[in-house]
Amino acid sequence: MTFYGGLSAEHLKQFIERLERIEEEKSGLADDTKMVFAEAKSGGFDTKTIKEVLKHRKLDKNTIDEQEHLLGAYKRALGMLPELDKEGQLWKTLS
């Protein structure tokens, strides 16, 4: 095995190749995406709108409660709601 300034050429080569393989697959998927959009378009759909729908579904999926959460944070910052502790639980003084 050959070393260059203390690094192993063989290992480096393998990392590079793995990354390039993944990159190729990503590129393939990008092509797939383009194909689907082309089909949809020729089927009379508006691709821009489809993209918006995808975005919204993603938002809905990932942050379904986030709007609520943001609103809560806002109100909490203004003292309109009771505060939460570190665990996200209602903080309550035991007197």
Partner DNA sequence: AACGTTGAAATAGTTC
Partner DNA sequence: GAACTATTTCAACGTT
Buried-exposed string 33-66: b where 16+ CB fall within 10 A, e elsewhere: eeeeeeeeeeeeeeeeeeeeeeeeeeeeeeeeee
Identified binder of a second copy from the candidate list 42, 62, 65, 80, rule CB under 8 A = 80
**Which of DNA, a second copy, none interacts with 70 (beta carbon under 5 to 8 A by kind)?**
a second copy
38 binding a second copy? (CB under 8 A): no
Q: By CB under 8 A, is residue 90 in contact with a second copy?
A: no
Q: Which stretch binds DNA (CB under 7 A): 5-13, 39-47, 69-77, 83-91?
A: 39-47
User: Taking CB within 5 to 8 Å according to partner kind, which of DNA, a second copy, none is near residue 88?
Assistant: none
For residues 1 and 60, which CB has a smaller minimum distance to DNA in the complex? 60
